Amino acid sequence: MNAVYNNNIMSKKDLEKLLREIIKKGDEYDKVEFKSLYDFSQKKDKIRLIKCIAAIVNSDSTYFNNMGYIIIGAKRGELVGGFDALEKDSTSSNIHNWVRDYIEPKVSFTVERFEDSKVGWWGVIIIPPSSETHVFRKELSDQNLNIRRGDVFVRDGDSIILADKSDHDRLQRRKFLDTVKKYESRIESLEAKIEEQKTIQPNLKLYFSDKKNKLCEELDVRPIFDVKTEEKYLIELSENQEIKEIENELMNLMKEKEAGERGGISFSVGIKRMQLEDYEKDLKEYLKKLKEFKVADLKYSRKLSQVIPLNFALQNDGITLAEGITFYIYFPDDFKISKELDFFEKPIFREKRPKPPSHSPFADLLNSKPYFPDFISPSIPGVIDVGYGGPIIDKSNKSMNAKYWVNKLLHGHMHFFDPLYLLAPDYEKEVNLDDSIYAENVVGESEGTLLLKIKPKK
């Protein structure tokens, strides 16, 4: 049969060896008591034993890892034995009944029996530490024993006394510390389970996606449009082939008109039922509108020169499927972000150019494709699972954030999201964008930081 000692299991043989050493040394420690005479048939002896057990369990000691021992059949320095009652299996049960009848809450203890060839039976009551305060639940008045209900006894050296205020404070403190220890143990257990769960759950990580759909945690960006200078605009205007063709046609018409006027004749240069002056007027009007459109294009391009598209991708590095994913990206309050290019007035590039004169012999040449400014909107990569959305911009909180979500993400896969548009400042800036990711089958949240390096527009 084994007993608990020093938070470990020790054999009965080792326990006996320890007790014999304690007896031989002869010291009654704070929680060690020698009892050479006990008559279990006498009520007063039963009460003395119960009182001793209660006092030891209410006391604390630095010896023997705070374990208590009432050694029966021994005195200081000598094993005397003589307790034939310990030979019976019923003795332990009887002692437990006596203590339970008089003390609350219940005291945990064990009774061990040993036999010595010289002195006969002897034993020990082993009392582990307790965090409770154990009190008498009954009153007793018998000769020198006067016990009231609610009395608390403690050990003072080898004496048993009523607990004073300092003892009650100590008992309350150890109850509190034991409660804290239990919570700490519970927290450690939960943390261990969480760590264990993390090894088999999805592992979600947010990244920037650059122009080549390469994932990165640090992104250097510039606005997607260059500012067109007046000089660059004039060069583009002078090199525009379409404008050149119209200007050349006007020049040729004017030459033919002048030649006709000098010859005093009227001719139509191949245009039936229309005077030369009307055709010249139409071409001049169309050239004027075309140049106006180019000017508008310049103004809009200057505005677009501040726009930066931010593309994000979510990757699942875990070994299981992630479900019900929501993540947030947090931006500084001074940032201007949008889910669309809606920072400005109605985009000019959506408007068609003015129609050329329908009656012109050059109508087929001039009525080419509708003109759009020279820019390509960032594409949205295709995804397997269409159950995704965002961004939703929330500016109501202290920290502005963009919310995205996706229904499912397979392990070992990534998901690209719709771009977010940012108005770039006129100066170089670095900012950390914090993110938090939640999933229905992931314990807790995943947090990360992306470094955005914004370069000024050219």
53 touches 87 (CB < 8 A): no
pLDDT of residue 193: 76
Given a cut of 50, whether residue 368 has pLDDT beyond it is no
Give the best-scoring range by mean pLDDT among 27-31, 45-49, 194-198, 334-338: 45-49
Task: Give 412-439 pLDDT, tens digit per residue.
Answer: 888 888 888 888 777 788 999 999 999 9
Please compute the mean of the pLDDT values over residues 305-313 and round it to a whole number: 82
pLDDT of residue 222: 76
* CA atoms of 158 and 181, how far apart (whole Å): 30
pLDDT of residue 300: 56
Comparing 291-295, 380-384, 449-453, which segment has the lowest mean pLDDT?
380-384
Band of residue 260 on the pLDDT scale cut at 50, 70, 90: low
Task: Give 167-216 pLDDT, tens digit per residue.
Answer: 999 999 999 999 998 899 888 888 887 776 666 778 899 999 987 888 99
Tokens, residue 122: 């002897």
Q: Tokens 């109605």 — which residue? A: 346
183-206 in b/e form (b: 16+ CB < 10 A) is eeeeeeeeeeeeeeeeeebbbbbb
What is the pTM assigned to this prediction? 0.46
Given a cut of 60, whether residue 2 has pLDDT beyond it is no
pLDDT of residue 73: 92
Neighbours of 285 (CB within 10 A): 13
Q: Label residue 127 exposed, middle or buried (CB < 10 Å: 0-12, 13-18, 19+).
A: buried
Task: Give 212-223 pLDDT, tens digit per residue.
Answer: 888 999 998 876
Tokens, residue 199: 């090894």
Averaged pLDDT score across all residues of the chain:
78
* CA atoms of 178 and 273, how far apart (whole Å): 109
pLDDT of residue 299: 61
Given a cut of 80, whether residue 361 has pLDDT beyond it is no
Q: Tell me the fold of 2-163.
A: 3.30.950
What percentage of the chain exceeds 70 in pLDDT? Answer: 72
Tokens, residue 173: 């403190």
- CA-closest candidate to residue 67, choices 123, 124, 141: 124
The 322-331 sheet, strands edge to edge: 218-221, 446-454, 429-438, 322-331, 400-409, 388-394
314, β-bridge pairs: 206, 415
Q: Tokens 């954030």 — which residue? A: 401
CATH architecture of the domain formed by 202-224+306-341+377-458: Sandwich (2.60)
122 touches 112 (CB < 8 A): no
Phi, psi of 167 (to 5 degrees): -70, -45
- CA-closest candidate to residue 54, choices 135, 175, 140: 135
Tokens, residue 130: 């307790």
* CA atoms of 75 and 26, how far apart (whole Å): 7
* CA atoms of 406 and 390, how far apart (whole Å): 9
pLDDT of residue 273: 37
* Domains of the chain, residue spans: 2-163, 202-224+306-341+377-458, 228-304+362-369
Task: Give 323-341 pLDDT, tens digit per residue.
Answer: 889 999 999 888 888 887 6
23 touches 79 (CB < 8 A): yes
Give the best-scoring range by mean pLDDT among 134-138, 240-244, 350-354, 384-388: 134-138
pLDDT of residue 286: 73
Band of residue 371 on the pLDDT scale cut at 50, 70, 90: very low
pLDDT of residue 296: 64
Give the best-scoring range by mean pLDDT among 48-57, 330-339, 380-389, 405-414: 48-57
Q: Label residue 266 exposed, middle or buried (CB < 10 Å: 0-12, 13-18, 19+).
A: exposed
Task: Give 56-113 pLDDT, tens digit per residue.
Answer: 999 999 888 899 999 999 998 899 988 888 888 888 899 999 999 999 999 999 999 9
